[in-house]
Amino acid sequence: MSNHLFDAFRSRMPAPERLLMETDDGRWLSYGDMLARSAQFAHALLQMDVEPGDRVAVQVEKSPEALLLYLACVRAGAVFLPLNTAYTLTELGYFFGDAAPRVIVCDPAKAADIARMIEPSGAVVVTLDRNGRGSLTDQASRLPSDFHDVERGADDLAAILYTSGTTGRSKGAMLSHENLASNARVLVDQWRFTSGDVLIHALPIFHTHGLFVATNVILMAGAAMLFEQKFDPARIVSLLPRATALMGVPTFYTRLLQQDGLDREAAKNIRLFVSGSAPLLAETHKAWRERTGHAILERYGMTETNMNTSNPYEGERRAGTVGFPLPGVALRIADPDSGKPLAQGQVGMIEVKGPNVFGGYWRMPEKTKAEFRADGFFITGDLGIVDADGYVHIVGRGKDLIISGGYNIYPKELESEIDALDGVLESAVIGVAHPDFGEGVTAVVVRTPGARITGAEIISAIAGRLARYKHPKQVIFVDELPRNTMGKVQKNLLRDAYKGLYAT
């Protein structure tokens, strides 16, 4: 029997007594504990009639048990479907309807509402709280601690991660066992992870960065992590002497730079700082180097592709670039319309192909087709250039997307909600440079004649419907939106007009 991804982890697993994770409240979990407890969770899933390929949707706070549940899904042949804890019931309703999960794991506080909402679907609802307790843990604790992993091949699905679409609804990116295994293997190798490493893990575990990049790399290296429920900059500085690596979004690094205790002495045990999910400003890279003596290693990826490029471990980590394509990843810059590859030095669409690239969007064959070229390259939606030395630079986005603190926000989703409000004629949502979040979500709104709706009223009207991080940090009222001759709103003019809005 073989289970492609879990076997890959097993093949690098250290002795069972070795540490896998230590939590911020002092709990220890060894590799042996992980094997035993993920086995119990896997048995629990089978008791709930989960069959290979069934989706297990999970919206829970970060805890070791949440991670064990991911591994249990892999071992039981289920498809792990993590959801941002900020999603509202309205947002969840769409995901559950689209993915048709067999099991939903949620916080006890939400269980009744969710059970009511999904009643006709027949999905089983079980609970897991921030301390790792709940009906799922209760059930699992009575079950055997060994498990015959369900057979899964390289192309079988391991996970579905939802990513918002520029138009229409969110799309579920289908990731196979080999998508995840191949990327983790390459990253361990490129970033020189060994079983001696200790990673500070302070990212959420419902997105690619915290779930796959951070966790799969640690499992694939047989290494350990300091598993933090939240990103607390003062605490992270205090943990540095006990760790060898940190992975984070740019907001982690700008916030850490505000800590007095961050200096060369504090960072002397660390061998690698990694940044990704959003552009790291060259000035942050420089400031970090001056304060700690370390060059942050920036890499580039996305939900659909895992990691595509990375600055080198040895050699120059060039600020403002995302480095070179990873081994096995083919990357080209193409004309956005025709897909024709462009000459080196020209700006165009970044397209990628390799074992890291997903198989398509869940139950959306048309959308899948539209985002791949005929020769199998995936159209990332990011605009880039490859410089004379081969470093990839991301220079913009061909998709209307805002990245705030590493979370993606699609303006269209917000605009539809705002435009539907009484008193609003139309709106344009833009990302404006923000010192903390990189980009701040900003709504530019035209009221209907005579209407008096306020920014606070707009935000409170969408509050129950959209996750908090999507809410505009500011609402600006204008008489009309700038349009080009085709009638299209010129967001570049708006971004320009408000570029100093969040300046400190």
Q: Which residues bind ligand AMP (CB under 6 A)?
A: 163, 208, 276-279, 298, 300-303, 322, 380-382, 394, 397, 403, 408
Q: What minimum distance in Å lies between the beta carbon of 249 and ligand MLC? A: 5
- What are the strands, taking DSSP E only, across 6-51? 19-23, 28-30
Parallel/antiparallel/unpaired status of strands 402-404 and 407-409: antiparallel
Q: How many residues bind ligand MLC (CB under 6 A)?
A: 21
Residue 191 lies near ligand MLC (rule: CB under 6 A): no
Q: Which residue has the tokens 């009309």?
A: 480
Q: Which is nearer to ligand MLC, 42 or 322 (CB)?
A: 322
Question: Cβ-count burial of 157 within 10 angstroms (0-12 exposed, 13-18 middle, 19+ buried)?
Answer: buried
Residue 233 lies near ligand MLC (rule: CB under 6 A): no
* Residue 214 per-residue DSSP state: I
Q: What minimum distance in Å lies between the beta carbon of 164 and ligand AMP? A: 8
Among the listed residues 410, 441, 430, the one whose alpha carbon sits nearest the alpha carbon of residue 167: 410
CA dihedral sign of residues 313, 316, 322, 324: negative
Q: What minimum distance in Å lies between the beta carbon of 335 and ligand AMP? A: 19
At 356, list the tokens: 């890291």
Residue 179 lies near ligand MLC (rule: CB under 6 A): no
Residue 171 lies near ligand MLC (rule: CB under 6 A): no
At 467, list the tokens: 């996750």
Residue 380 lies near ligand MLC (rule: CB under 6 A): no
Q: What minimum distance in Å lies between the beta carbon of 69 and ligand MLC? A: 18
Q: Which does 469 bind (CB under 5 to 8 A by kind): ligand MLC, ligand AMP, none?
A: ligand MLC
Q: Which is nearer to ligand MLC, 142 or 468 (CB)?
A: 468
In the chain, the amino acid numbered 261 is G
Q: What angle is formed at CA 159 by the lines to CA 156 and CA 162, rounded to 5 degrees?
A: 135
In angstroms, what is the C-alpha Rg of the chain?
23
Q: Which does 279 bind (CB under 5 to 8 A by kind): ligand MLC, ligand AMP, none?
A: ligand AMP
Phi, psi for 330 (deg, rounded to 5): -95, 130
Cα(90)–Cα(467) distance, integer angstroms: 10
Residue 208 lies near ligand MLC (rule: CB under 6 A): yes
Count the neighbouring beta carbons within 10 Å of the beta carbon of residue 80. 22
Residue 301 lies near ligand MLC (rule: CB under 6 A): yes
Residue 216 lies near ligand MLC (rule: CB under 6 A): no
Q: What minimum distance in Å lies between the beta carbon of 212 and ligand AMP? A: 10
Q: Which does 235 bind (CB under 5 to 8 A by kind): ligand MLC, ligand AMP, none?
A: none
Sheet holding 392-397, edge to edge: 330-334, 348-353, 378-386, 392-397
Q: Which is nearer to ligand MLC, 137 or 303 (CB)?
A: 303
Q: Which is nearer to ligand MLC, 204 or 360 (CB)?
A: 204
Among 145, 399, 412, 469, binds ligand MLC (CB under 6 A): 469
Q: Which is nearer to ligand MLC, 77 or 279 (CB)?
A: 279
Q: Which is nearer to ligand AMP, 136 or 307 (CB)?
A: 307
Q: Which does 70 bind (CB under 5 to 8 A by kind): ligand AMP, ligand MLC, none?
A: none
Packing angle between helix 177-190 and helix 4-11, nearest 10 degrees? 30
Cα(217)–Cα(212) distance, integer angstroms: 7
Helix (H, G, I), strand (E, B) or coil at 438: strand
Helix (H, G, I), strand (E, B) or coil at 93: helix
Q: Which is nearer to ligand MLC, 149 or 228 (CB)?
A: 228
Q: What angle is formed at CA 139 by the lines to CA 134 and CA 141, rounded to 5 degrees?
A: 95
Q: Which does 380 bind (CB under 5 to 8 A by kind): ligand AMP, ligand MLC, none?
A: ligand AMP
Distance from the Cα of residue 147 to its chain's centroid:
30
| Ranges within 43-82 binding ligand MLC (CB under 6 A) | none
User: Mask of contacts with ligand MLC, 421-460, x by CB under 6 A?
Assistant: ----------------x-----------------------
Among 277, 292, 309, 380, binds ligand MLC (CB under 6 A): 277
CB 441 within 8 A of CB 428: no
CB 41 within 8 A of CB 6: no
Q: Interface with ligand MLC by CB under 6 A: which range of 68-76, 204-212, 329-337, 382-390?
A: 204-212
Residue 279 lies near ligand MLC (rule: CB under 6 A): no
Question: Cβ-count burial of 86 within 10 angstroms (0-12 exposed, 13-18 middle, 19+ buried)?
Answer: middle
Residue 148 lies near ligand MLC (rule: CB under 6 A): no
Q: What minimum distance in Å lies between the beta carbon of 219 and ligand MLC? A: 17
Among 406, 411, 431, 472, binds ligand MLC (CB under 6 A): 406
At 20, list the tokens: 């896998």
Contact positions toward ligand MLC, by CB under 6 A?
203-204, 207-210, 231, 249, 251, 276-277, 301-303, 404-407, 437, 468-469
